[in-house]
Amino acid sequence: MAVPPSAPLPCSPFYLRRQAPCPQCSWGMEEKAAAGAGCREPPGPPRAAAVPCFGISVDQDDILPGALRLIRELRPHWKPQQVRTKRFTDGITNKLVACYVEEDMRDCVLVRVYGERTELLVDRESEVRNFQLLRAHGCAPKLYCTFQNGLCYEYMRGMALGPEHIREPRLFSLSADVPEVEVLERELAWLKEHLPQLDSPVVFCHNDLLCKNIIYDSTKGHVRFIDYEYAGYNYQAFDIGNHFNEFAGVNEVDYCRYPARETQLQWLRYYLQAQKGMAVTPREVERLYVQVNKFALASHFFWALWALIQSQFSTIDFNFLRYAVIRFNQYFKVKPQVSALEMPK
């Protein structure tokens, strides 16, 4: 939002009267003057709203007095004696100070004062236009105002990166490929609607049967499972489908290794025979095959979400974000063909 909540509406006479011309935002004032009579948007595509422009010049060598004048305009409810300031010293073109009243800086106004004669190198009108355009697309903070030799904008919480950070794969990998929340909610609803209809029995499951959690004792011919942190009651077909997904590996994921239909049918036949203690029919094997491959979608979805959470909190040296994207991609890739599978008559 270009105009702060405490400011009058753009079309009010008070708003127009209080603004003083200022070089870097004259384009916005001209647009406002042209539309002011009827308060109508001119024909054509919507344009970014003009921001307040104050006739205030802030002394580069003594920023605080000018910054507080701007704060009185932008945050009139703040008590001057409670305003705290913090100087940022990393920039080499402009000077920047943060103004806030709460310790957590939840509401914080950044006052940026342009460097002396930097207009010889920087087109300030274009800067303001670019700022508003990026804000409209969710890529920039709120622009609160401009003044004669600078601008004020929203403080974005986070850490300013250093050279040691930008080499980290988790910072430049595939976050743009993570589906939107609305898409994930829709897919979750689809899974919850369709999978229970398959009537897969609920059994005690391991829920994390990746290769390294399976131990084979060749001297005894025994297979044992380890690591039970995700174990619990779940759909039988999920545990098997999850195991088949793990054929692709974790560090170097390759879904070409996902078991082919014939391999799965053989595996499932052995499983059902061990479970029932007797021979099973092709129909029983085919039924489990359909259940398993449909529940394998839920496995992709679960571990993709798990990886997103891990990418935020884990200290393990693993590219969780990349792994999440891989699992989401495979989910959407196989969903059409898996959805088309039909239970045997």
Domain of 130: which CATH number? 3.30.200.20
Query: Rounded CA gap, 308 and 175, in Å?
Result: 10
Q: Do 114 and 204 lie in a common domain?
A: no
* Max CA separation in the chain (angstroms): 91
Report if residue 313 sits inside a domain: yes
CA-CA distance, 36 to 254, in Å (whole number)? Answer: 61
In this structure, the answer to whether residues 195 and 145 fall within a common structural domain is no
Task: Indicate if 245 and 97 belong to the same structural domain.
Answer: no
**Do the domain assignments include residue 276?**
yes
Angle between helices 282-313 and 181-194 (to 10 degrees): 150
The verdict on residue 297 lying in a domain is yes
Do 141 and 200 lie in one domain? The reply is no
**Beta bridge partner(s), residue 97:** 87, 111
Q: Is residue 283 part of a domain?
A: yes
pTM, rounded to two decimals: 0.54
CA angle 13, 32, 19 (to 5 degrees): 55
Averaged over 130-158, what is the pLDDT?
Answer: 88
- Could you identify the residue written with the tokens 């898409």? 183
Contact 240, 221 (CB under 8 A): no
For the residues 269-295, what does the mean pLDDT come to? 96
- Please check whether residue 5 lies inside any domain of the structure: no
**Domains: count for the chain:** 2
Residue 17 lies in a domain: no
Rounded to an integer, the average pLDDT of 209-228 is 88
100 with 211, same domain?
A: no
Q: Are 2 and 143 in contact (CB under 8 A)?
A: yes
CA distance 33 to 103: 40
Write out pLDDT tens, residues 285-339: 999 999 999 999 999 999 999 999 998 888 888 889 999 999 999 999 999 999 9
The verdict on 111 and 223 lying in the same domain is no
Kindly state whether residues 98 and 219 are assigned to the same domain: no
- Only one residue has tokens 């004032």, namely 29
- Domain shared by 204 and 311, yes or no: yes
The pairing of strands 150-154 and 143-147 is: antiparallel
Task: Give the span between the Cα atoms of 150 and 54, in whole angstroms.
Answer: 10
Same domain, 290 and 142: no
Centre a 10 Å sphere on the Cβ of residue 191 and count the other Cβ atoms it contains: 18
Tokens 């703040």, located at residue: 78
pLDDT in tens, 101-140: 998 888 999 999 998 888 888 888 888 988 888 888 777 8
Residue 286, domain extent: 172-340
Strand 108-113 and strand 95-100: the pairing is: antiparallel
Same domain, 256 and 126: no
Q: Which contacts qualify for 69-73: CB closer than 8 Å, 24 or more apart? A: 70/109, 70/111, 70/145, 70/147, 70/152, 71/99, 71/109, 71/111, 73/145
- Is 187 within a domain? yes
The enclosing domain of 325 has a CATH number of 3.90.1200.10
User: Which SS3 state, helix, strand or coil, does residue 85 take?
Assistant: strand
Is the pLDDT score of 21 beyond 80?
no
d(CA 101, CA 103): 7
Query: Is 7 domain-assigned?
Result: no
Residue 206's pLDDT band, with cuts at 50, 70 and 90, is very high
154, 185, 220 — which closes off a domain? 154
Distance of alpha carbon 7 from alpha carbon 1, whole angstroms: 11
Does residue 321 sit in the same domain as residue 226?
yes
- Together in a domain, 140 and 212: no
